Amino acid sequence: MRRLLPAAGVPLLLLAACQSGPESDSADAPPAVADAGADLEASTVAATTESAWSATVLPGMAAAADGVVVQFAFDENDETVLLGTEAATGETLWELGDEGGTIAGTELLWWQTPNPMKVQIAEVDGEPAVIARALDGDLDDVSPGCAETESQAAVVAVAVATGEVLWTAHPASAGPESACPIVFEQDMAVAAGTVVVNGTTPDMFSVAMSLDTGEVLWTKEGVELTRATGDVLIGVRSVGGTSEAVCGFEREYQYAGYDPAGGEVLWELDPCEDPSVLGLLADQLLVETEATATPELRAIDALTGEVLAAYTGEVQPDIPASDGVGTLVCNLGNQVILHYDAAAATFTETALPAGAETGFPYLVWEGQLAVYFADEDTTRLYDLGTGAESAAFPGWMAGTTGAYRLSTPPEYMNDLEAPLDVYTARTEAPPVGR
């Protein structure tokens, strides 16, 4: 049966680490991964029309790195598993699933990041690793009156290439001693060698850990640090109903940037402008102000809080698409998009061709806006400078590794399962890596 653990109204999918996992007694070296080929570019992605292999995954729960596709899925027993699959062949390289065994001397039960649902890949000691949440069954020191699953909260780093568990951390141990362990049901954020998990004590509580070791670095109470740029964590705290509330809003929030190394506040936004973070780039964030004389979209330096550029228009931007690095695009309606270029710190309005408004813009990739057309099951790329169509290919753009493109819908477009199709531009068989 499919096991679900409800927490704060969000179903958390669990699995137990399998005994035949990558940390078995075998001394054999892990198999080499087949060469994934040359990286895809905007000029070559249109050729990715051949299906290499397909699978069924949890919605939004697939990502790729170094020729390996990592995915959360259901196995033949309807139990949740974490898989590492070779992009070139679809062959399973490693699997952490429910067979009742142990990984690294523990009983681990993985769950997915609640919101958004995604596979979080980060550099751990120079190598790509999945950062996942888990329940550690070896932790049985349940406090009186507290739920067992609260005491078992864990964060685990798993090597993408091999499935090896690199470290297991227990952030609940950093919480107040007088309370039940923290339930970390909020978003996880990664910035500059630090991973932060968020929960309640019952007040908001954040725990920052080293990406390389899992060691707890610092904690913050009363703050939720659920978003991050490359070198800054973005936090929010509620000041409504306190002595700090000066704006007269029913709900009043203070946004601030925090240093990942020590948790110090780098800058704060004026809560009386009723700001909200619309999008994040490598070293900037876009903030929409609602309570100014004229609502604005502002680009802010993530390290200093300085306003770098501002846009004021008759139509407020819709939910944006971004590459997470230097480009963010908002839909202004009537086939017009608003393009923000972080390098130049400029906003530009661009008209798209007729018919583009019937699609769903969801991503910026290689300087192109990706728009999905459901009636064709096709993604079309549009040049951000001219608005002209530059490429088209079946399905979605959900990541690439080498010459392989992942296609799976965003997490909010499916319920319990979603299709994953891996396309390639290759016409010859991939080189054998083992």
**What is the band of 95 on the pLDDT scale with cuts at 50, 70, 90?**
confident
Domain ranges of the chain: 4-20+40-424
Residue 317: band (very low, low, confident or very high) from pLDDT cuts 50, 70, 90 = confident
Backbone phi, psi, residue 103, to 5°? -120, 125
Choice between 101 and 323, residue whose per-residue pLDDT is larger: 323
* Distance between CA atoms of residues 289 and 270, nearest Å: 10
**Which of 216-225, 288-297, 413-422 is predicted least confidently?**
288-297
Q: How many Å apart are CA 223 and CA 226, to the nearest integer?
A: 9
Summarize pLDDT for 359-374 with one digit per residue, the tens. 999 999 999 999 999 9
More confident residue, 341 or 143: 341
Question: 49-69: per-residue pLDDT in tens?
Answer: 999 999 999 888 999 999 999
Q: Taking 90 as the threshold, does the pLDDT of residue 97 lie above it?
A: no
CB atoms within 10 A of CB 127: 15
pLDDT of residue 21: 39
* The listed CATH number (2.130.10, 3.40.50, 1.10.760, 3.30.70) that belongs to domain 4-20+40-424: 2.130.10
Of all residues in the chain, what percent carry a pLDDT higher than 70?
A: 76
**pLDDT of amino acid 257:** 95
Cβ burial of 428 (10 Å; 0-12, 13-18, 19+) is: exposed
Q: What is the pLDDT of residues 198-209, one digit of tens each?
A: 887 777 889 999
Q: How far is CA 245 from CA 252, 253, 322, in A?
A: 7, 9, 33
What pLDDT is attached to residue 275? Answer: 85
Whether the CB-CB separation of 263 and 218 falls below 8 Å is answered with yes
Query: Percentage of the chain surpassing pLDDT 90?
Result: 47
A 10 A CB-CB count for 21 gives 23
Q: Answer whether residue 25 shows pLDDT above 60.
A: no
Q: What is the pLDDT of residue 116?
A: 54
Q: What is the DSSP letter of 195?
A: E
3-state secondary structure 93-129: EEEECCCCCCECCECEEEECCCCCCCCCEEEECCEEE
Predicted local confidence at residue 150, as pLDDT:
57
pLDDT, position 45: 97
Q: Is the pLDDT of residue 254 over 70?
A: yes
- Residue-averaged pLDDT of the chain: 81
Q: How many CB atoms lie within 10 A of CB 137?
A: 16
Neighbour count for residue 61 (Cβ, 10 Å):
23
